[in-house]
Every structure is written in structure tokens, then in C-alpha cells.
Chains A and B, each alone.
Chain A
Amino acid sequence: MKEVNLTCISCPLGCQITVRMNGDRIVSVTGNSCPRGEAYARQEVTTPMRVIATSVKVEGGSLPLVSVKTDKPIPKRLIPELMGLVKTLSVSAPVRIGQVLVDDVLDTGANLVATRRVGAERTDPGTRT
């Protein structure tokens, strides 16, 4: 039997929840003050999910990076793998907000999408004074 201690983030109260587990089976959830706390705790001890926000390199853009996010939460255990993948990516400017950079990233069902616009770099030397 093992115990997992969690701080509930469903509301500002921050209940300290204890989940007692027998292997993968949840035996009891205690310490929560409401059903949302129990649902949160059950999700956290089985498959915790997170939306990940980071940035991707831009080629020929007015900025060197474009901010990106997973458009759905992905399993927390895949975060290191996702960060490894993101390091290898680059995208050509211009980038639209909402543009899908990786479809179904790591087979999670989530897409990696741009969260801002990045225009093309201004390279016309004729306009320099």
C-alpha cells in the first residue's frame, strides 16, 4: 500500500489530498472538501495531463522565436520527449497565430500550434537611410 500526497489546485483552498493506492488501484481519497478535489486527485495519480508552452526557432523572421503550445493537455510523462522534439524544429516566417507546426505531436492527439504572429524579416536594403 502506498500513499500519494497532493495539493489540490481546483480552487484557492488548496486542500492537502492523500490518495492510498494498492499497486495501480485507488483504495481511498481523503482530505478533499469537494467532488472536484477527488476527480483531480484520481486524474493526477493515474494520468496527469499538462498543456505545455514553449518556443520554436523561426527562420527569416522579425523575431528569432515563435511561442507555441500544445492545443490540448498531453500526458505529463511525455514532457521531456516533447521538449527534445521542439529543440530540433524550425519554422519559416511568416508564422500565423494558430498555425499548426506539428500535427498530432507524439501521437497524443494534440497539435503543436503557434501562439503569436511572426512577420518576415525586413531585408530590403533600399529602405535603409
Chain B
Amino acid sequence: MKSYRTDVLVIGGGAAGLAAASAAAEAGRETILIEREDSPGGVLEQCIHPGFGVHRYREELTGPEFAARLVEELDASGAEVLTGRSVLAIDPKTRAVETVGPEGVRTIRPKAVVFATGARERPFGALRIPGPRPVGIFTAGLAQKLVNLHNLLPGRRALILGSGDIGLIMARRLHLEGVEVVGVLELKPFPGGLMRNVVQCLDDYEIPLHLSHTVIAVHGTKRLTGVTAARVDETGRPITGTAREFAVDTLILSVGLIPEAELIGRFVGLDPINRGPCVDSRWRTRAPWLFAAGNSVAVFDLVDTVAAAGESAGRFAARFAENDIPEVRKIPISRGENVLHLVPTEIDPGVPTLIHLRVPRPMQRAQVRIGEGIVSRRLIGVRPAEMVEVEVPVEAAEELAKLADVKVEVVEE
């Protein structure tokens, strides 16, 4: 078994990993990026719609164009890329990373690791819908991959469950490719995705959005023949007598993404709501040599934010590999009212912190308050689909450090 040494190892070649590897290599550290697919790019390769890059590149790009820019930056940085290679295990004591690829099993021994594995789609099985398991039920990302990369249509007449952005984007994409999209169901009383996508993916093509609805049964023995949907009450439970049938051969699920963090969860601890590792202001997990960024930490709204996170994690991982990060007492932060996703979960007072959070429901006017208002920011028109960012300068972090308990809350006004 061959073994390699490197300063920084980046696991995952999506937006976060590509940006992390470029930043680490630019900082002068020897850097390896490993990617399980045959080429880097991650999910961006199948996201052929525009809407990416407005923050990072000041222009609107499609997913493949955004990925191509990141790959160009990576090539210029001098980082080495190993494709077709997956991680089997990470030993927290020795930092040995066991990998497997076409050339066999290899061990990589890095000084620092950036974990950038992204997220997985929540599958049909997780929905606990009784009945048969016919062909014709796809997660939205899988359908997107089939249509946009493999030139295959998932079916002829489709219903979409979940109005997250991928569900909305797939409603439009399938409609444009000639699939009859009969509607989109959403469990919540408000759409899950960005308003722009509701307008440009559904309204533009007169695809109906049924809020407060879910699927209660699927039908068909071999191929899906229909779906029973019902209205739900405020707690999300189906209401008796509201069932309606949709005769469809395809059900597309856009019912959530889950950070892919099993490889490290057992030794760094996962945040129960983010479902990824707890990280600090430098994207450092509880293992001092292990950094994590992007959707493997928590599911973000914009790829621009994910790339910025990767860049930051890559830079700090490079500094750790040089023994250049002082150990400081970190400030744990906890969730107050109206806060779901929260990144980071610990403030490192040595650097400015950018806090990212999600609210559980739309609010017209609200205020984010951190540590009884030591840091606060007013918000207008905030929605669960869009993350809120709040900067905590170093001076404010010093004030926060004096409090016994630092809470982040969103107060509706």
C-alpha cells in the first residue's frame, strides 16, 4: 500500500473544495484535492440554469460556467487533483486518510484536512409513505442529472413534491423538455425556494403550486400510475377528506438536503440542526487539524457563499499546516428564537466572524440580535430560502466573550 504526505488534503471537488484547494496552494502549502467523480465540479455540472456567481464574479453564470472558473483558478494555484478516488476512512489519531481509486488503495498523510463533501438528497424512504415502491420516483437532483447530463427523461407526466429551489428548477426544466408537470406540492404554507424561482419556474409556465399539501400514498406495481395528495394542517398532518388523485407516471422529490458527514461525525460531533460538523469562525471543527466548509457543514443558499467558505477554510488549513494558528478560548453560541441553521457554532475571537443563519418562516421586518444586542442587524423581507449573514467584528467578539451565554436570535418587529 502506497502512502503520500502533503500539507493540506481537500476532500471533495465541488465549489467549496475547489476554492479551498486553490486557497491552500496559493498560500504556498503543498495541496492535494481528491474527488470521487471523474472530473471536479460537483453538483454545479448538472445545474445548467443561470443564477450563480453574482457575488463572486459580479456576473450571472450557469453552474458549469461557475465550476469552470473554479477549475481554472485551481489549475493556476498548483494544487494536485486526484479524480476517481474516494475516502474510505479518516483516522483521527494519526490523521491518515485511507482512499481507494483506479490505482488501488492509497493512504494520504496530511498535516491539515479540509472536508468539503457537500450534501445528499433526502430520499423517498425517509418520507415514510406507505404503499408499493414502483419505478418512477426520483429525487430532483437525480432527475436533473438524468436530463442534463445523460439525455434521459424520467417520465411523461410528473408531480413534484417540495418547493425547494431544486424542485422549482426541475419543474421548469422538465416542462421545457416536454414533460407535463401537473403541479408542485409544498408541505409548508409558504414556498421553500427563492421567490425568483417561484416566479420564473412556475408562474412563467402556469405550473400550479399547492401550498400546505403533501403526498399520502403512491400507486402502481411496476411503474408509478398515480399519487394521492392531501391538504395538511398547521402541524403538517394530512386533513381527512381533502385527498385528491394525480394521475402521473413520475414523482420528483425535493424534500431536503443532508450534509454528508458520516466520515467525521463520530469524532468531531455534528450539530443536530445543521446536521454537519460544529465549526468555528475559521471553519475549524473540534479536531484542530480538520476544517470543513460548504454544504457538508450546513446546507447553504448560494454557491457564492459556499465558495467563499471553502476559500476561507483552505487559507486557515494552510496556516494550520504551518503551525500558525494560536489556540484561543472560543465562544460557543447557541440558538435563540427563530434560528434554524447556524454557522459557525463557536466564535474564535482572533478573527472577524461571518455568521450565517436561516429563519424558520418568512418575516416582513425583523432584527438579528447576538449576545443581547452587542451585535444587531435589521432585516427586511427575510425568508427561510435565503440565509441571513451578520458580521461580528473582533472588538464585538471581545465583548461577547464577557457574557456567560451568547445567544443568536431573530426578533420579529
A binding-site residues for B, Cβ under 8 Å: 6-7, 9, 11-14, 50-55, 57, 63-65, 67, 69, 76, 79, 83, 97, 115-117
- Please provide the chain B residues from 31 to 75 with a CB less than 8 Å away from any CB of chain A in the complex: 45, 48-50, 60-62, 64-65, 68
Closest Cβ of chain B: how far from A66's Cβ, in Å? Answer: 9
Contact A67 B64 (CB under 8 A): yes
Docked Cα-Cα span, A117 to B75, in Å, equals: 16
B interface bracket (residues with beta carbon within 8 Å of A) = 20 to 34
For the complex of A and B, list the 9 residue pairs with the smallest distance between their C-beta atoms, beginning with the closest: A13-B381, A116-B64, A67-B48, A9-B196, A14-B195, A64-B151, A115-B62, A12-B381, A53-B49
Option from A12, A52, A55, A69 in Cβ contact (under 8 Å) with B148: A55
Contact B151 A57 (CB under 8 A): yes
Per-position 1/0 for B126-164, Cβ under 8 A of A:
000000000000000000000011110000000000000
* Contact residues in A for B200 (Cβ distance below 8 Å): 9, 50
Docked Cα-Cα span, A44 to B196, in Å, equals: 13
Contact B48 A115 (CB under 8 A): yes
Given contacts A11-B381, A115-B48, contact A97 B148 (CB under 8 A): no
B404 within 8 A of A: no
What would 18 more interface pairs be, CB under 8 Å, given A52-B176, A53-B48, A53-B50?
A: A9-B196, A11-B381, A12-B195, A12-B381, A14-B381, A50-B204, A54-B48, A55-B148, A57-B151, A63-B149, A65-B148, A69-B48, A76-B204, A115-B48, A115-B61, A115-B62, A115-B65, A116-B45
Given contacts A97-B65, A116-B68, contact A12 B150 (CB under 8 A): no
Contact A116 B65 (CB under 8 A): yes
B111 within 8 A of A: no
Contact B62 A53 (CB under 8 A): yes
* Contact residues in B for A63 (Cβ distance below 8 Å): 149
Contact A13 B380 (CB under 8 A): yes
Docked Cα-Cα span, A52 to B62, in Å, equals: 10
* Contact residues in B for A52 (Cβ distance below 8 Å): 176
Query: What are 17 A-to-B residue pairs whose CB atoms are below 8 Å?
Result: A11-B381, A12-B383, A12-B386, A13-B380, A13-B381, A51-B50, A51-B60, A54-B177, A57-B151, A63-B149, A64-B150, A65-B149, A67-B62, A69-B50, A97-B64, A116-B68, A117-B68
- Please provide the chain B residues from 325 to 352 with a CB less than 8 Å away from any CB of chain A in the complex: none
Contact A97 B149 (CB under 8 A): no
Option from B64, B149, B364, B380 in Cβ contact (under 8 Å) with A115: B64
Closest Cβ of chain B: how far from A125's Cβ, in Å? Answer: 19
B96 within 8 A of A: no
B198 within 8 A of A: yes
B binding-site residues for A, Cβ under 8 Å: 45, 48-50, 60-62, 64-65, 68, 148-151, 176-177, 195-196, 198-200, 203-204, 364, 380-383, 386
* Contact residues in A for B149 (Cβ distance below 8 Å): 63, 65
CB-based nearest B residue for A15 = B381
Contact B151 A65 (CB under 8 A): yes
Interface centre among A12, A50, A52, A54 (most CB of B within 10 A): A12
Closest Cβ of chain B: how far from A56's Cβ, in Å? Answer: 10
* Contact residues in A for B195 (Cβ distance below 8 Å): 7, 9, 12, 14
Docked Cα-Cα span, A13 to B199, in Å, equals: 13
Option from B48, B65, B176 in Cβ contact (under 8 Å) with A83: B176
* Contact residues in B for A50 (Cβ distance below 8 Å): 200, 204
CB-based nearest A residue for B38 = A62
* Contact residues in A for B204 (Cβ distance below 8 Å): 50, 76
Docked Cα-Cα span, A13 to B379, in Å, equals: 10
Closest Cβ of chain B: how far from A62's Cβ, in Å? Answer: 9
Given contacts A51-B50, A67-B62, A67-B64, contact A7 B198 (CB under 8 A): yes
Closest Cβ of chain A: how far from B130's Cβ, in Å? Answer: 36
CB-based nearest B residue for A63 = B149
Option from B60, B65, B382 in Cβ contact (under 8 Å) with A12: B382
* Contact residues in B for A83 (Cβ distance below 8 Å): 176-177
Contact A67 B151 (CB under 8 A): no
Contact A67 B148 (CB under 8 A): yes
Docked Cα-Cα span, A64 to B151, in Å, equals: 7
Closest Cβ of chain B: how far from A54's Cβ, in Å? Answer: 6
CB-based nearest A residue for B72 = A97
CB-based nearest B residue for A114 = B64
CB-based nearest B residue for A66 = B64
Closest Cβ of chain B: how far from A42's Cβ, in Å? Answer: 16
* Contact residues in B for A65 (Cβ distance below 8 Å): 148-151
Closest Cβ of chain A: how far from B8's Cβ, in Å? Answer: 27
Contact B62 A9 (CB under 8 A): no
* Contact residues in A for B65 (Cβ distance below 8 Å): 97, 115-116
* Contact residues in A for B177 (Cβ distance below 8 Å): 54, 83
Given contacts A9-B195, A13-B381, A64-B150, contact A97 B68 (CB under 8 A): yes
* Contact residues in B for A97 (Cβ distance below 8 Å): 64-65, 68
Interface centre among A9, A53, A117 (most CB of B within 10 A): A53
